[in-house]
Amino acid sequence: MQRALLLENVHPTSVPILESAGYEVDYRKGALDEDELIAALDGVQLLGIRSKTEVTARVLSEATSLVGVGAFSIGTNQINLTAAANRGVAVFNAPFSNTRSVVELAIAEIISLTRRMTERDRALHDGVWDKSAEGSHEVRGRTLGIVGYGNIGSQLSVLAENLGMSVIFFDTAEKLALGNARRAETLDELLETADIVTLHVDGRSGNAGLFGEKQFARMKQGSIFLNLCRGFVVDVDSLAEHIRSGHLSGAAVDVFPAEPKKRGDAFESVLRGLPNVILTPHVGGSTEEAQEAIGQFVAKKLSDYVTTGSTMLSVNLPNLQLEHTGVGRIKLLHRNVPGVLATVNQIFADHGANIEGQMLATRGDVGYVVTDISDVTERGASKKLQALESTIRLRIRDAFERPEFPPGPAAR
Ligand SMILES: NC(=O)c1ccc[n+]([C@@H]2O[C@H](COP(=O)([O-])OP(=O)(O)OC[C@H]3O[C@@H](n4cnc5c(N)ncnc54)[C@H](O)[C@@H]3O)[C@@H](O)[C@H]2O)c1
């Protein structure tokens, strides 16, 4: 029986998906430390974690039966991705299962801040009937400036237009403008045009300090600022200053340069207590729907990998997917050195195997070739493939010999 270990209370929708791929699932609530993890991975092919379990190079070299790790999260910092690739372990995450949740929070905040609901709410809780239209606006007809037009930015663009807003966006990559959204040539153009500026750039290191004094100063008088992407992208001292001076009329911040480690920890920030500022504890993507979607998405990726060999959206291996054409499927992760494909195909030919379909992809110094074969006349091909100097990991399904092999000579 193949085994999967799921830690950190990942969403239970993942369990039946792995079971129907033929896995016996050990489901646990907590995280494990390095030694506990190594012990628990004995004889385990698939591991599922969230953010607290560290999959280190040592874990990967000790866990010889491991072939796939699912990060039931967006981030994969907790996994040594290079070490995983070098051991032939595929890593998958859920890059867009919580996109909609972030978008909905952004919409809610845009409306709340534009209506100054934060202040009305606080006053009434304090027993003050502050009925006034002053400073409250509709979002219809206002211009939303989206910085980073990826999964989240582009979906926000669609919903904002449905609310009657105009959208302008800025992205460093070439992006298709959806609906009537207009692309800004520069960030400054966006800042000078938008009534509301919202950040949705990715977490690449070059984005550290992307938004500071210079950018806030460029924003329109009375405009609103949102950051739901990464804390280190924004200089929060400058933001606080622009709120205090009245230059910005409100802000919503979900991510912070330094975030408390766990629920219940104290939170310190210059943004606390400022007027018309919504602070949320990095919950943009945290909804029950998103957790369920993440559970299904990652489990499906792991299941596809072990059944069909598909590495589509793997974050550390060459991405490929081959439609099933033959009777046997040979999946070979190898060092990306010249001549591997020719050698592999010669071995197939020597064993009378007819190649029905084949696909090769490479990523850095790792190559991945999936081959569908039929008409094998002689056994022993897999032993030869496994013994090749370039072999990192060989896996065979529906085939004639052993279904799983230990890491090959090139695993390191
Ligand atoms: N608050 C939360 O709970 C939460 C949840 C999910 C995602 N996020 C964060 O939201 C952000 C966006 O996620 P996504 O899935 O849309 O990512 P994505 O990779 O699909 O999109 C990011 C976009 O930003 C663009 N970009 C990068 N640097 C830029 C720059 N300096 N200027 C302009 N454009 C730039 C990229 O070209 C890309 O189009 C990420 O930082 C992610 O970590 C936060």
Residue 134 pLDDT more than 80?
Answer: yes
Q: Is 229 in the pocket of ligand 1 (CB under 6 A)?
A: yes
pLDDT for 99 beyond 90:
yes
Whether residue 399 has pLDDT greater than 60: no
**Which atom of ligand 1 lies at the shortest distance from residue 175's CA?**
39
- pLDDT of res. 267: 96
Query: What pLDDT, on a 0 to 100 scale, did the predictor assign at position 326?
Result: 65
Distance between CA atoms of residues 368 and 372, nearest Å: 14
The answer to whether the CB of 321 falls within 8 A of the CB of 36 is no
SS3 256: coil
202 CB near ligand 1 (under 6 Å): yes
| The two three-digit tokens of residue 196, written as one number | 């509301």
List pLDDT tens digits, range 43-89.
999 999 998 899 999 999 999 999 999 999 888 989 999 999 999 99
**Contact partners, residue 161, CB within 8 Å, separation at least 6:** 167, 178, 179, 180, 181
- 296 Cβ inside 6 Å of ligand 1: no
Is 259 among the catalytic positions? yes
Ligand 1 nearest-atom number relative to CA 255: 1
Task: Tell me how far apart the alpha carbons of residues 19 and 23 are, in angstroms, rounded to a whole number.
Answer: 5
Tell me, rounded to whole angstroms, the distance of Cα 100 from its chain centroid: 14
- Cα–Cα distances in angstroms (integers) from residue 81 to residues 8, 91, 325, 384, in the given order: 20, 7, 31, 28
pLDDT of residue 402: 47
**Beta carbons of 99 and 185 less than 8 angstroms apart:** no
Nearest protein CA to atom 31 of ligand 1, as residue: 207
Range of weakest confidence among 31-40, 60-69, 97-106, 372-381: 372-381
Give dist(CA 87, CA 284) in Å, integer.
Answer: 34
Three-class DSSP category at 114: helix
Q: What is the pLDDT of residue 77?
A: 85
- Per DSSP, 178 falls in state P
Mean pLDDT over 270-282 rounds to 97
Q: Is the CB of 116 under 6 A from ligand 1?
A: no
pTM of the model: 0.84
Is 24 an annotated catalytic residue?
Answer: no
